[in-house]
Amino acid sequence: MCCKCLYQHYGLDPACQALEHSLRTVHLRFPKAFSIAKRLEIDYAPAMVGFEFKNGRSYPVFDGIVVCAEFKDVLLEAYAEEEERRQAEEKKRDETQALGRWYQLLSSIVTRQRLNNRYINNTLSSEMPTGGLCINYDESSASLSDRYEHNYMRIRFLVFDLN
């Protein structure tokens, strides 16, 4: 007997269980079984296992699919292959994300080191302002306030230049 008649019934309610045994059908409960059966063009029916009551209404509860027993092995093999492919894809995606995060971390470290070398290591610690960056001002005769003013103008120029 063909599984197309399963579409006329609602899954695995008690009235259909006798029909299930007479038609030699199986209930497959693995996730996304319907997409695999659809891709393989195998007739299936959603398996309704009961009703759920919410807000004074009843809603059908579906769990898996019902297919003819002769397609069970084909579907299980296809599901195993699909699961392996999905896990390989997930692993590749995770590795790509990890490499991207490492690249971002290393780029940040290099940028921080470059900025430290440029702005902090080139000045004497006694000349550094307490709250900001400064650069080395090479005139030995300039006073400390002239150096701060020069650094302020330089930093202001850099900030406006970035915008």
Question: Within this chain, do residues 13 and 77 fall inside the same structural domain, yes or no?
Answer: yes
Task: State the 10-residue block means of pLDDT for the chain, 163 residues long.
Answer: 48 51 81 91 91 93 91 93 96 94 92 87 54 47 54 51 44
For residues 34 and 42, what is the distance between their CA atoms, to the nearest angstrom?
A: 9
Residue 117 has a pLDDT of 86
Residue 112 lies in a domain: no
Q: What is the CATH number of the domain that holds 24?
A: 3.30.70.2460
| pTM for this entry | 0.53
Residue 24 has a pLDDT of 84
Residue 10 lies in a domain: yes
Looking at the structure of the chain, the number of domains it has is 2
Residue 159 has a pLDDT of 46
Residue 88 lies in a domain: no
Phi then psi for residue 72, to 5 deg, are -60, -50
Residue 98 lies in a domain: no
Greatest alpha-carbon pair distance for the chain in Å reads 104
Range of the domain at 31: 3-82
